[in-house]
Chains A and B, each alone.
Chain A
Amino acid sequence: MSEKTNRIMILSFWAAFTLLPFYWILDLSFQKQITFPPDIFPANPSLYHYTNLVNERLVVTGIINSLLVSLVAAAVSVLITTMAGYAFASLKFKGKKILFFGVLMAFLLPPNLNIIPIYSLFSELGILGSRIGMVFLYQLLATPINIFLFMNYFNTVDDAIVESAVLDGAGVYARYYKIFVPLAKPALVAGFIFAFRFAWSEYVYATTMVSDNSKILFTAALERAVFSGQYTVNFGYMASGAIFLAIPVLVILLFGQRYLELGLQLGGVD
């Protein structure tokens, strides 16, 4: 076999490994009775698990809350990280290096490790389990990567444009919202996508911080629905719920891949 065929075979093998859980989730989600051995392809496809899942009130509340919290968190993230990115890219100030180093260090500390003090601080501040508390927390997950993204994007803005704006009398504030932000539309989409998917996917904080059923987030609600039986696990909910969780990502891959690639490139990942 030629080297090229080998290469494609290995890549295909890894693609199969990557897609296997997705295929299996999809396959099982359409089987009304999940009995061993399950069908490799659903013989009588049924929407049974999907209709059951959306009839669970807790799950619906979770989806609505998660959409709300994730959208607001993503909007907040884009607003404040464009501001910070603008300052890092275009303004002169003392302590730039040390503050940027701080952002890098924050990127290195996994947020999961902070859950005990944040639980305690939120309790002290009286925002434990509130939606606003979760918005604060979730916009934070994307802050470092979005700051890198916007800083790098703003660095590519032509100096001549900025200089002519200064000559036209655009001040430090006007340049932010009249020049940099309007020029950064693709990056804004990328940053929004990043922040949204962090918030929508988050699991550990969601399942720990929120105890009030009316404020529950989707991942936590789904977990509860799956494990609600005392001795049994609801595999149908596991499969259909995972599909719901994955939908935004699939939408992003289908329609926003250009922005995703841009974001990965500028966010320093790629």
Chain B
Amino acid sequence: MDKYRAYVPYLFLFPALGILFFFQFFAWGWNINIALHDVTIMNFRRAWPFVGLENFRDIFTDPVTLVTLRNTAIFATTGIISQLLIGTGIAYLLFRAERGIENFFRPIFIIPWLTSVLVASFGWRLVLGRDTGIVNMVISSLGFEPISFIGHPATAMLAIVLANIWRGTPFTILLMNSAMTSISPQLVEASKIDGASQWTFYTKIALPILKPFILMNTILITVWTINAYGLILNMTGGGPINATRVFPLHGYLAAFNEGRFSFGAGITILSVLMTLVLIYFYLRFYDADVV
């Protein structure tokens, strides 16, 4: 290899990493700064009084916070478990399928992940809608009254969970499918020759190979399911009566609908901390070798 000055690689890195780190890490510092001051729509362009941890006290004494945490728990638990189970199941069926069948279904399965959250939101609003939905056509043909899914608290939660599973599962299908392709056919053959049962093969050979992929997949969909609120923002706006107001959406709405920027900034910080705690438990669980 030839010689180049030591700073040259950094010149190549700077445009991409400079902007990335500015937006992600510097912005996070700025977020903490906002959370420690009192920033509202009133003094947004003026001096910000320092208030320490007062915003966090406000967050924990706000009765809505508890509701949003409960909503996040329901939305995330059902969403993550369904995506993992369905995604891995479909990935396995694709893996076992003949090449032609796999090539037919694969592109179809990717589509929801490629489209905008707005398509997911509009699509499911129309499918479930009281005046527009095919689901309500079935319901009324069975002799029941059509339901406004996003108009009632329990069904609105069901609607956003469904739309999120629809949009999120393709990622798990892709990732787990490629993980399964990394198990070599020779290994499968060898285990057959050695007389290993199907069960032994799955638990003793396949699972250990798939474990790191399952971990990575679980971490990523946890981060996204807990923190991505765009779908909910558009589909229900957090309603009705806060029934779908998940924790990070609480922060967004506080900032941009109510002008309480510091309150919102505090919530995003807590949201990330919450995610990190979960990831920590995943890693502990993973190391403990219980799976």
Q: Known contacts A91-B9, A92-B9, A112-B230: does B127 contact A269 (CB below 8 Å)?
A: no
Q: Known contacts A116-B265, A172-B2, A270-B174: does B114 contact A203 (CB below 8 Å)?
A: no
A249 to B111, CA, bound (A): 8
Asked whether any CB of chain B lies closer than 8 Å to the CB of A19, the reply is yes
Bitwise interface map of B from 124 to 146 toward A, beta carbon under 8 Å scored 1, else 0: 11110111111011001000001
Q: Is the CB of A203 within 8 A of B132?
A: no
A119 to B207, CA, bound (A): 45
Q: Is the CB of A18 within 8 A of B125?
A: no
A21 — which chain B residues lie within 8 A by C-beta?
A: 119-120, 123-124, 126-127, 166
The one of A93, A120, A219, A226 that contacts B6, using a Cβ cutoff of 8 Å: A93
The one of A83, A140, A176 that contacts B23, using a Cβ cutoff of 8 Å: A140
Taking CB atoms and an 8 Å cut-off, the chain A residues in 241-270 that contact chain B are 241-242, 245-246, 249, 252-253, 257, 260, 264-265, 269-270
Q: How far is the CB of A230 from chain B (nearest CB, A)?
A: 15
The one of B9, B13, B166, B261 that contacts A18, using a Cβ cutoff of 8 Å: B166
Asked whether any CB of chain B lies closer than 8 Å to the CB of A22, the reply is yes
A123 to B44, CA, bound (A): 9
B10 — which chain A residues lie within 8 A by C-beta?
A: 87, 93
Using a Cβ–Cβ cut-off of 8 Å, how many residues does chain A contribute to the interface with B? 92
Bitwise interface map of B from 43 to 55 toward A, beta carbon under 8 Å scored 1, else 0: 0110000000000
A22 to B248, CA, bound (A): 28
Q: Whose C-beta in chain A lies nearest to the C-beta of B96?
A: A7
Q: Is the CB of A113 within 8 A of B271?
A: yes
Bitwise interface map of A from 35 to 63 toward B, beta carbon under 8 Å scored 1, else 0: 11110100000000000000000000000
A94 to B9, CA, bound (A): 9
A109 to B126, CA, bound (A): 31
Taking CB atoms and an 8 Å cut-off, the chain B residues in 147-189 that contact chain A are 166, 170-171, 174-175, 177-178
A88 to B14, CA, bound (A): 12
Q: How far is the CB of A249 from chain B (nearest CB, A)?
A: 5
Q: Known contacts A116-B265, A120-B30: does B227 contact A106 (CB below 8 Å)?
A: no
A204 to B101, CA, bound (A): 37
A18 to B105, CA, bound (A): 11
A265 — which chain B residues lie within 8 A by C-beta?
A: 178
B268 — which chain A residues lie within 8 A by C-beta?
A: 113-114, 116
Asked whether any CB of chain A lies closer than 8 Å to the CB of B66, the reply is no
Q: How far is the CB of B183 from chain A (nearest CB, A)?
A: 15
Taking CB atoms and an 8 Å cut-off, the chain B residues in 224-242 that contact chain A are 224, 227-230, 233-234
What would 16 A/B residue contacts be, using CB atoms closer than 8 Å? A14-B86, A14-B105, A18-B112, A18-B166, A21-B120, A21-B126, A24-B126, A36-B132, A40-B137, A102-B25, A106-B25, A116-B261, A117-B33, A137-B23, A139-B19, A204-B229
Binding site for B on A (CB under 8 A): 7-8, 10-11, 14-15, 17-22, 24-25, 28, 34-38, 40, 79-81, 83-84, 86-88, 91-94, 99, 102-103, 105-106, 108-121, 123, 136-137, 139-140, 143-144, 147, 163, 166, 171-172, 176, 197, 200-204, 208, 219, 222-223, 226, 235, 238-239, 241-242, 245-246, 249, 252-253, 257, 260, 264-265, 269-270
